[in-house]
């Protein structure tokens, strides 16, 4: 991969999440004032441990919370200049923002091609355009072309992830919310998936908000990162800075030198305590 040029501070925001609060079942406060921005044409990583609130943040943006009995009780979400937090998920897909759910969720009994075609359900531009789009997707994922008649349930994890991303691409998105693409995949397959994300971003201008526990990969491919902890953003910055940050290296990358650490340093100690809890 060639290191990606930052999307740039000057790039306008395609997505702004403004101070959102999310409550499940009317009682469980899970997001406590989360704000983040994705610039047009950017890849932004949302990092954090299990249960930090990454999936909830993505679902709050894509309007998929209600089926989980979750509600955005404060704040707003703006996509491409329009407030979208009261839209349905379908309306948001029509406007160009789609989520690829954690765990791929392909329809196992349908073929790869049938799965891809389900992704075009919001389109109104005719069968020829859909067919052309399918061809483009097979260009991007030659493996899916080879396996287009296979039942998705029999694909490898990496192929299923490709199928799920391909299906999202069939809606012609400007932005994809990608939830843990690396989950359960071998390291070289993870690299392959991230290379595809990078290519879609560079060559088709698709913006990405990427929720990941694989901090190493996410920091390599994203230009800007946010770290979530117990429903709050505790750190954000350009990924180049995050990779060199001692706390990130110690708690998320496991590569800190360990030298010169002083736990009487209250700020560091507090953060360490929070991350270990």
Binding site for ligand ATP (CB under 6 A): 24-25, 28, 30, 48, 50-56, 68-70, 213
Instruction: Write down the least CB distance from residue 27 to ligand ATP, Å.
Output: 9
Instruction: Write down the least CB distance from residue 67 to ligand ATP, Å.
Output: 9
Residue 70's contacts (CB-CB under 8 Å, 6 or more residues apart) are 22, 23, 24, 25, 30, 56, 59, 60
Query: Which of 55/215 has CB closer to ligand ATP?
Result: 55
Instruction: Write down the least CB distance from residue 103 to ligand ATP, Å.
Output: 9
**Tokens encoding 49:** 């441990």
**Tokens encoding 145:** 């072309």
CA 117 to the chain's CA centroid: 22
Query: Which of 24/107 has CB closer to ligand ATP?
Result: 24
Q: Are 209 and 58 in contact (CB under 8 A)?
A: yes
C-alpha to C-alpha distance for 230 and 252, rounded to whole angstroms: 15
Query: Which of 212/250 has CB closer to ligand ATP?
Result: 212
**Tokens encoding 220:** 């390599």
Instruction: Write down the least CB distance from residue 268 to ligand ATP, Å.
Output: 23
Query: Which of 30/61 has CB closer to ligand ATP?
Result: 30
Instruction: Write down the least CB distance from residue 69 to ligand ATP, Å.
Output: 6
Query: Which of 24/275 has CB closer to ligand ATP?
Result: 24
Task: Strand 175-179: give its sheet, edge to edge.
Answer: 97-100, 175-179, 207-212, 43-47, 224-229, 232-238
Q: Are 99 and 79 in contact (CB under 8 A)?
A: no
Query: Which of 74/123 has CB closer to ligand ATP?
Result: 74
Query: Which of 211/242 has CB closer to ligand ATP?
Result: 211
Residue tagged 């704040």 (tokens): 75
Query: Which of 169/227 has CB closer to ligand ATP?
Result: 227
- What DSSP character marks residue 12? P
Instruction: Write down the least CB distance from residue 275 to ligand ATP, Å.
Output: 14
- Give 25-52 as a DSSP string: TTTEEEEEEEEEEEETT-EEEEE-STTS
Instruction: Write down the least CB distance from residue 261 to ligand ATP, Å.
Output: 27
As beta bridge partners, residue 76 has: 18
Cα Rg of the chain (Å, integer):
19
Instruction: Write down the least CB distance from residue 274 to ligand ATP, Å.
Output: 15
Phi/psi for 82 (5° steps) reads -120, 135
């Amino acid at each position: 991969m060639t290191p990606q040029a930052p999307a740039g501070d000057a790039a306008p925001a395609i997505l702004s999440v403004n101070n959102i609060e999310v409550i499940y079942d009317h009682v469980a406060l899970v997001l406590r004032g989360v704000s983040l921005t994705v610039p047009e044409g950017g890849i932004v990583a949302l990092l954090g441990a299990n249960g930090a609130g990454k999936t909830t943040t993505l679902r709050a943006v894509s309007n998929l919370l209600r089926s989980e009995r979750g509600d955005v009780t404060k704040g707003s979400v703006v996509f491409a200049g329009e407030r979208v937090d009261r839209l349905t998920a379908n309306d948001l897909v029509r406007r160009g923002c789609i989520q690829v759910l954690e765990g791929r969720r392909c329809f196992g009994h349908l073929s790869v091609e049938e799965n891809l075609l389900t992704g075009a359900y919001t389109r109104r531009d005719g069968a020829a355009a859909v067919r052309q789009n399918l061809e483009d997707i097979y260009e991007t994922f030659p493996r899916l072309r080879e396996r287009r008649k296979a039942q998705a349930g029999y694909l490898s994890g990496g192929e299923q992830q490709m199928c799920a991303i391909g299906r999202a691409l069939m809606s012609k998105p400007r932005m994809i919310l990608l939830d843990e693409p690396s989950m359960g995949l071998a390291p070289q397959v993870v690299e392959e998936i991230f290379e595809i994300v990078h290519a879609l971003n560079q060559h088709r201008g698709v913006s990405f908000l990427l929720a990941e526990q694989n901090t190493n990969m996410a920091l390599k491919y994203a230009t800007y990162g946010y770290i979530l902890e117990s429903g709050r953003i505790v750190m954000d910055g350009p990924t180049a800075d995050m990779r060199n940050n001692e706390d990130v290296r110690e708690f998320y990358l496991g590569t800190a030198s360990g030298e010169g650490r002083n736990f009487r340093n209250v700020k560091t100690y507090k953060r360490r305590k929070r991350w270990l809890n």
